[in-house]
Chain A
Amino acid sequence: QFVPPYTEDCRTDMYPPNGPTFKGPVKWYTIDLDLPPSKRWTAVISDKKNDLVDMIQAIRDLADAFVPSGRLIELVDIALPLMVDTLPNPFREEIKGIAAVSGVPLGEVVLFNIFYEVFTV
């Protein structure tokens, strides 16, 4: 596994993060577990709504590339909301709250949250 320039000698002095491999810091948010689950993510999703919609759109485009008829997304939007009520709480209510605040269809928020299992396909 030594194929320069795709691999390199061990880097040093990269910290504190700087230079072209550092794209930026990460913002902090508080999640208040005393709030009802559906309300916990409001602040985060209000801030990140456009980025979330953007990312979901990229997954839609990908799905449409595989199934141009759009049936795959239709399936997600019809079937996965039926599945959300089988998920355990508090995740079920938190996912519904995220869909409500972001305006992203519930099925697509569910898909985002179970992507790990789906992706193993």
Chain B
Amino acid sequence: CTSVVAQDEKGKLLHGRNLDFGLFLGWDVKNKSWAISEKLKPLVVNLNFKRNNQTVFKSTNFAGYVGMLTGIKPHIFTLTMNERFSLDGGYIGILEWILGQRDGMWMSFLTRSVLENANSYDEAKSLLAQTKMLAPAYFILGGNQTGQGCIITRSRELSIDVLEIDVKLGRWYVLETNYDHWKEPFFLDDRRTPAMKCLNQTTQANISVKTLYDVLSTKPVLNKLTTYTTLMQVSEGTLESYIRDCPNPCMPW
């Protein structure tokens, strides 16, 4: 996955993401594609969660999956999550759960609870940073004020790091793939460098929904695992999603 929160020169925040999933879950030799990724694409839906006929939040989901991976609380915050690999992983959390230790939250139920119940960027940020989980994760959160964009790097128990947008330091965007931002990504899976190259080439003056989509459409940021691309604008309260394909030749991940 690749998630970006960017702030344009007017202080407006944009949030984009590619949802890549299905690695090693069966390769279709004939079609040169991942079996599960292709089966997930028809399940992609946009959901408008309403209460008293008012929109509470909107999301892009795989039908049948009740948790959240991509969502917007219109005019308040935007949220995506990317997978984080760690030896202290979800299987340990599941074992604890089965043995009766149930003080942690399943990752996608936490994101769903935050989108449904949090009413500010700061409230969402503290819930995502402090709630004990069953598995590690990256939460990428965008707010509705200038400077409100961050990557929360989570272990099961702790918030390991929070990287914020800081325009004074020249950091007008935060970008997360699936590696801790203070470490080099795995050299065979470096989607960070090409994404940063394209964002820097775009420049803050030209970042927009349109150019953010261009970045998320550039191989290998776009790859055989990419099921959908979502673009969110918190100030407009809009979420738009597109099902993707990566024509050959294309990186398998």
- A residues engaging B (CB < 8 A)? 1-2, 5-15, 17, 20-34, 41, 44-45, 47-48, 51-52, 54-55, 58-59, 61-62, 65, 83, 86-88, 91, 94-95, 98, 102, 104, 109, 112-114, 116-121
Contact = CB atoms under 8 A, between A and B. Distances in A.
Given A8-B218, A102-B64, 15 more contacts: A10-B201, A23-B41, A25-B241, A26-B228, A30-B48, A48-B63, A51-B63, A52-B63, A62-B25, A62-B35, A87-B109, A91-B109, A117-B89, A117-B106, A117-B135
Nearest to A50: B42
B186 to A, nearest CB: 11
B26 A61 contact: yes
Contacts of B67: 91, 113, 116
Interface SS of chain A: mixed
B48 to A, nearest CB: 5
Given A30-B50, A55-B36, A48 B64 contact: yes
A109 B220 CA distance: 32
B60 A10 contact: no
B191 to A, nearest CB: 8
A52 B61 CA distance: 13
B135 A116 contact: yes
Interface in B73-91: 83, 85-86, 89-91
A81 to B, nearest CB: 14
A15 B209 CA distance: 8
Nearest to B112: A91
Contacts of A109: 64
B145 interface: no
Contacts of B98: 83
